Amino acid sequence: MTHKPVLSSLSLIFVVWMICPSVFAQQNNATDLQSNIFGEILEYAKLSNAAYSNRSTVQKTAAEYGYTLSHFASLSKLNVSYYVITNDDKQTQLIVVRGTSNAENALVDIAIQLINNDDFGIRLHNGFALSAEGIYNDIKSKLKKGYKTRTTGHSLGGAVAVILGMYLQNDGYLIERIVTFGQPKVTNITGSKKLDSLEIWRVVTPRDLVPLVPPLEMADINNLNIYWHSGREIILLDGKQYSIATGIDSMLRATKFLAEPLSEKNLQHHMMSHYLALIEAKTSDAEWVPYKNDFSTLLPSW
């Protein structure tokens, strides 16, 4: 019994490689993302954090970055809130989706089965997809078609922001970038490949559990229903250091932490206040360090 999770993890890695070897492809993750990205990431983080506040706070935060608030809405039936800010000089519009302030609820809510989504022909987390569709239907008459469009959000808001980007791209909007914080998984391996056309930056902290669940499960192999992340994962390390991971490297981060019991201490790693502190430390002279998966965590202790 002690070694069953270890063998399952190793078996799963092999099966994923057989199914979709492209997820193991080596990528040059550092050279095209420079250390000065953290000024931009801080902007997205502050705007995502403002989504938890009122209209006045949103207006003030948006103004700091040259935006004006053009729409502020809450869809009560879907329990989702969002806002839109616009910079007419730069012909840019940004959609910010509010997440959940309760990380424990987030961990429970996201661990459900993927279902078929007819709009994109892939399997998606149903709750996130419904929220994204609801926002899209509410917002599309208010957006400017020729403007560069960005989406962002924290936690479940980040997951909705990714799927919302798909709706907008399908409708002809120029999606410049999607930046999420502590975002849970939204689709499976096949679905993640369909998201490759979007530039997604997933900002995470090393011990935030929300981006790591649901974990890889052998039972899901039978119908290729493995939850899988898309885009580039920017891992906020201590001080000025950060790493970047994609594909299997990103997925295997879960190995070390998912055995930990849920507690107030590890839930703090999901909070926007924690993200903001780590990002602010990197806005000057950030140091990229190679990401290394500790594969020894997959091996039994004899």
Q: What is the pLDDT of residues 42-77, one digit of tens each?
A: 999 999 999 999 999 999 999 999 999 999 999 988
From the CA atom positions of the chain, what is the Rg in Å? 19
Residue holding tokens 């902007």?
A: 43
Enumerate the β-bridge partners of residue 243.
235
Alpha carbons 29 and 296: distance in angstroms, whole number: 23
Q: What pLDDT is recorded for position 202?
A: 95
Residue 107 inside a domain? The answer is: yes
Instruction: Report which of 210, 190, 186, 212 is spatially closest to residue 200, judged by C-alpha positions.
Output: 186
Residue holding tokens 């599309």?
A: 140
Instruction: Report which of 228, 261, 227 is spatially closest to residue 104, judged by C-alpha positions.
Output: 261
266: domain CATH number? Answer: 3.40.50.1820
Q: What pLDDT is recorded for position 176?
A: 94
Q: Is 102 helix (H, G, I), strand (E, B) or coil?
A: coil
Instruction: Report which of 190, 278, 271 is spatially closest to residue 237, judged by C-alpha positions.
Output: 278
Residue 253 inside a domain? The answer is: yes
Question: 218 lies in which domain range?
Answer: 4-16+29-291
Per-residue pLDDT reduced to its tens digit, 190-218: 777 888 889 999 999 988 888 886 655 44
Residue 299 inside a domain? The answer is: no
Q: Is 244 helix (H, G, I), strand (E, B) or coil?
A: strand
Q: What pLDDT is recorded for position 31?
A: 44
In the predicted model, is pLDDT for residue 172 greater than 50?
A: yes
Per-residue confidence band for 89, with pLDDT thresholds at 50, 70 and 90: very high
Residue 90 inside a domain? The answer is: yes
Residue 95 inside a domain? The answer is: yes
When the pLDDT of each residue in the chain is averaged and rounded to a whole number, the result is: 80
Q: How many alpha carbons fall within 13 Å on the CB side of residue 173?
A: 29
Residue 259 inside a domain? The answer is: yes
Q: Specify whether the CB–CB gap between 16 and 189 falls below 8 A.
A: yes
**More confident position, 233 or 222:** 233
Domain count across the chain:
1
As a 3-state breakdown, the chain gives helix, strand, coil percent values, each rounded to 5, of: 45, 20, 35
Q: What pLDDT is recorded for position 128?
A: 87
For 145-151, what is the mean pLDDT?
A: 96
For 114-121, what is the mean pLDDT?
A: 80
Q: Is 145 helix (H, G, I), strand (E, B) or coil?
A: coil
Alpha carbons 9 and 165: distance in angstroms, whole number: 32
Residue 298 inside a domain? The answer is: no
> Which residues touch 207 (CB under 8 Å, ≥6 apart)?
257, 266, 269
Q: Specify whether the CB–CB gap between 48 and 152 falls below 8 A.
A: yes
Q: What pLDDT is recorded for position 255?
A: 57
Residue 178 inside a domain? The answer is: yes
